[in-house]
Amino acid sequence: MTIMSYDNPLSSRYGSSEMVYQFSPHKKFTTWRKLWLALAEAEAELGLPISESQLKDMRDNLDNLDLDLAASYEKKLRHDVMAHVHAWGDQIPDARPIIHLGATSCYVGDNTDLIIIRDALDVLLPKLANVIDALASFAREHAALPTLGFTHYQPAQPTTVGKRTCLWIQDLLMDLDALTRIRDTISFRGVKGTTGTQASFLALFDGDHDKVTALDDKVTAAFGFDRAFPVTGQTYPRKLDHIVLMTLSTFGVTAHKMATDIRLLANLKEMEEPFGAHQIGSSAMAYKRNPMRSERICALARHLITLSQDGAWTAAVQWMERTLDDSANRRVSLAEGFITADGILETLLNVSRGLVLYPKVIRRRLDSELPFMATENIMMAMVRKGADRQVIHELIRTHSQAAAANVKMEGGDNDLIERLKGDPDFSAIHDDLDDILDPSAFVGRAPEQVAFFMKEDVEPALERWKGELGRGATLRV
């Protein structure tokens, strides 16, 4: 009988190969070896008796992983780091004595996690910038296209398609800024020892504090970090994991809101996500064009939003210098947080680069609601022609209620303007009504706001990523 193993859809279905790799065994364990090598190189440079031949053995075997051997050691030792120390020691016996010299498990475990977090952010950030760039192009193109606004999902004052798109972009810019700030300021754990006191390294260097400080600095710089945490327990502060997951979660909120708007607009037939030539919307209802990508974004975003709680509780319940109840949770939450965010971004980029508009549907809905919204403009136009405001107000009120009854009770169109055109009391503005009802007259400064926002906010924010803009999305399904 064949026993099927669980296949995590985040890895096999939604996340990109470049993001999935960040959390792969190969990335993790080769980074462990690079950290052991960097430690040994720095220790040798600072005077510890480590030979060049030992360092060469380490350099030559960074990628020579034997995961089965390590797994057999872990089954016996019940300790993942020591399992890999033994497995690598078997491969390079001459260097065995100096592997992990003076270090605690968190030297490789935590520093590797920080490297992966930084590298995973380097995968996410260009994709997020591309989503913003795609939406910015869409917003510029439709900056002045009037569309019915909605508050409480009820018809409200008109806006423009471009202006509405800018609401999505503005949220995404906040996410870009927050994630960039984490990426640029993340600290390394560095070389801190068992409880963060560096006692083991102070013993190795015969009480030379300067050499211990230099060791920490050298290893930190070797991995491209500007600084290490000045103080740690056994682990780096789990508060950082909470901040990372919370910021990813906040992006999930943005993505969910945008995708929900697209789903609502798809129902109104005003906007659609891209739909493949052979795509099937329903196995039963052949006519359907479901917004499945936007629905996927919402589904994944819900999971991403909930993951922030893992980081919060893990940070909250760490005792003193550390407890191990963080380990299993972090193996799941950090990987899933980044891979989920990556899957959302790939899908969001696909949607953003292929948004479809239906301007005639947009105009028809505007035309059905605009007459009511234009009544004050109509009244003012009549007053300017010499009419009595109170008399005109009553006439418009009467015609408006009749038009509303026609829409709600009879299922007819909004015929308010036709009623006014047929009323001789409004003859003074009959020739002006079409101009009064021009939707562009009701969008305020929306087009100008789009232009200002692009120049002052969007373009400066994307400057850092301009060399990576224009990429497409890679969807597996």
Q: Are 428 and 98 in contact (CB under 8 A)?
A: no
Q: Environment class of residue 242 by beta-carbon count within 10 Å: exposed (0-12), middle (13-18) or buried (19+)? A: buried
Name which of 468, 458, 472 is nearest 162 in CA terms.
458
Neighbours of 98 (CB within 10 A): 21
Strands 146-151 and 154-160: antiparallel
Three-state SS sequence of the chain = CCCCCCCCHHHHHHCCHHHHHHCCHHHHHHHHHHHHHHHHHHHHHCCCCCCHHHHHHHHHCCCCCCHHHHHHHHHHHCCHHHHHHHHHHHHCHHHHHHCCCCCCHHHHHHHHHHHHHHHHHHHHHHHHHHHHHHHHHHHHHCCCCEEEEEECCEEEEEEEHHHHHHHHHHHHHHHHHHHHHHHHHCCECCCCCCCCCCHHHHHHCCCCHHHHHHHHHHHHHHCCCCCECCCCCCCCCCHHHHHHHHHHHHHHHHHHHHHHHHHHHHHCCCEECCCCCCCCCCCCCCCCCCCHHHHHHHHHHHHHHHHHHHHHHHHHCCCCCCCHHHHHHHHHHHHHHHHHHHHHHHHHHHHHHCCEECHHHHHHHHHHHHHHHCHHHHHHHHHHCCCCHHHHHHHHHHHHHHHHHHHHCCCCCCCHHHHHHCCHHHHHHHHHHHHHCCHHHHCCCHHHHHHHHHHHHHHHHHHHHHHHCCCCCCCCC
Beta bridge partners of 150: 155
Which residues are designated catalytic? Answer: 152, 282
